[in-house]
Chain A
Amino acid sequence: GENVEQHPSTLSVQEGDSAVIKCTYSDSASNYFPWYKQELGKGPQLIIDIRSNVGEKKDQRIAVTLNKTAKHFSLHITETQPEDSAVYFCAASGGSYIPTFGRGTSLIVHP
């Protein structure tokens, strides 16, 4: 089955800095790569996603890049704000493949 590795497990930044979270996946058949943000006491919420026919996608301060050859994708958050503090999960799925999630990254943005 699919295996998704996510790093780092914890990321601490100062407000205004950039944050990068990286994920690798094992199955080249995966073609859908979403990123979810989970705030304390809430369920995960999609913040951005990318499909395998696209190399990069951007939405305001958030961007995702995908390298199919290397089987890795990354989340980039620029100009971080305290409200960005949360746990972020990457996932890989597609076709008949069930969603497989990374272990999560706890992002802490210090004011």
Chain B
Amino acid sequence: QSVLTQPPSASGSPGQRVTISCSGSSSNIGRNTVNWYQHLPGTAPKLLIYDNDQRPSGVPDRFSGSKSGTSASLAISGLQSEDEAEYYCAAWEDSLNGHVLFGGGTKLTVL
């Protein structure tokens, strides 16, 4: 069971804005930055957001990230059919000598 908690599913219609939450604790999100991944079946995950709110080159500005306290959120505006995918948050966990935690994933459905 993941220590980073995400809703198992989310949905929205084309053009809408959706948000996906990621809840952690003081030893992970509370002290470290959050990263977000988009994962399509049969492909490698793609880094969507790093350091809470930074987009790698090539990622559309429809994707944005934020963090407050021990929680983080990914927002997708102007939803498109190709955004249908699994989304994961990830953060460094300081306990037990440190390790990376992934959230359980959120399946986004574009209606």
Report if A and B associate in a common complex. no
